[in-house]
Structure 1
């Protein structure tokens, strides 16, 4: 039985001193701590016998995911050079982008983002079926389409995919429960964590899901 594993990595911490919801906005980069988190995860992936031979690295096109992926790639490519193998380049795909959100650019709980305001309160009345932006169903469908394509493209191999909390957890929740809707407060996808999903190449059925947090102790 041939299997493809997709390692979904969440980006590292973002420099955001004003605490705004940056969503898909440009110009939000990794903080120094975020770069250390990406470095820790890059070192973990390079030390792992499976992931250090990954066939490709993909990322959301946003700044923070590409920066995280570049740091991971620097570790993987150093190992590939040592083995006399060609280096990998970063690929991006719009289907991995952060979820759309009507609060983007606002500070949640303050000013225009204050939840007590009538126009905002009605948006967050149901955490399981958010009405403040892109639906969980659509998020899961676009990530699922990406995954299905890559299962075939990288048949029997491993790839690393750097994306965001919402796409990772929404897709995982769909695979584990049959539905993408969930309570956003109960997500389990820490910054720079790795959610690894192994699929049967023929049926595209899930064989296993594992989770590690290599950057948990990064200060």
Structure 2
């Protein structure tokens, strides 16, 4: 069976001076630091390509920050960016609000906090995994169809959907503490396959040295 790899790339830092949980809101652009992170991610993939990696497919969430993160990688690899709605950020009741910790003390929001295991404030974790894994499966098949054994694909998306997809791939509970997600800005979570069988999960942080001081809202 042909082997393949799908890299889940989180977007870079967003210009968000009001600290809004922006979710699926439009027109949240990368900050200057975020653009540096996107270039760093492109360099990471370009280095892999120079070492023999065979990149054949690139897709991104339709949200501005994901599209802007994808562009340098598209240029570095000579690929077009395919927009895939399944890579969207998770729906969230608190979308558009600032000072989320303070909002949690407002009784109007309490009905949305009843079940953190689902979670009750947004799109169910299982729903996120289903759509992400469907996108991963299609990306893997398209890449193999274009480039054969060893083909690789890059999907640019958002922290929570990437993180719960990784947890599902590793057979871990989807419920988690948002403060403990291992999915930093422009991090790369790689799923390696032999045919349809997932072999392993790898993780890398091309922008590790740029992270100190970066804005990084959980769920953003």
Aligned to 2:97: 106
Which segment is superposed worse, 192-201 or 9-18? 192-201
For 1:100 and 1:114, how far apart are their aligned partners in 2? 17
Among 115, 123, 132, which residue is 1:134 paired with? 123
Aligned to 1:20: 20
Task: Give the TM-score normalised by the residue count of structure 1.
Answer: 0.87
For 1:42 and 1:52, how far apart are their aligned partners in 2? 14
Among 135, 139, 144, which residue is 1:146 paired with? 135
For 1:188 and 1:51, how far apart are their aligned partners in 2? 27
Aligned to 2:200: 208
Aligned to 1:48: 48
SS state at 1:4 partner: strand
Superposition pairs of residues 3-82 of structure 1, within 5 angstroms: 3-49=3-49, 53-77=54-78
Task: Give the TM-score normalised by the residue count of structure 2.
Answer: 0.86
Shift of 1:147: 1.5
For 1:52 and 1:4, how far apart are their aligned partners in 2? 10
Indicate if the aligned counterparts of 1:127 and 1:184 stay in contact, CA closer than 8 A. no
Aligned to 1:82: none
Aligned to 2:216: none
For 1:31 and 1:9, how far apart are their aligned partners in 2? 17
For 2:188 and 2:162, how far apart are their aligned partners in 1? 10
Shift of 1:145: 1.2
- In the alignment, structure 2 segments of 5+ residues that lack a partner are 212-220
Indicate if the aligned counterparts of 2:140 and 2:152 stay in contact, CA closer than 8 A. no
Deviations 1:79-98 (A, max 9, x none): xxxxxxxxx21101000000
Deviations 1:89-117 (A, max 9, x none): 1101000000001111101337xx61111
1:119 aligns to 2:98 (yes or no): no
- In the alignment, structure 1 segments of 5+ residues that lack a partner are 78-87
Deviations 1:105-158 (A, max 9, x none): 101337xx6111112234235433311110001000111111222222222310
Aligned to 2:155: 161
The list of structure 1 runs, each at least 4 consecutive aligned residues, that deviate by more than 6 angstroms after superposition, is: none
For 1:153 and 1:17, how far apart are their aligned partners in 2? 39
SS state at 1:48 partner: helix
Indicate if the aligned counterparts of 1:169 and 1:188 stay in contact, CA closer than 8 A. yes
Shift of 1:206: 1.0
Aligned residues: 205
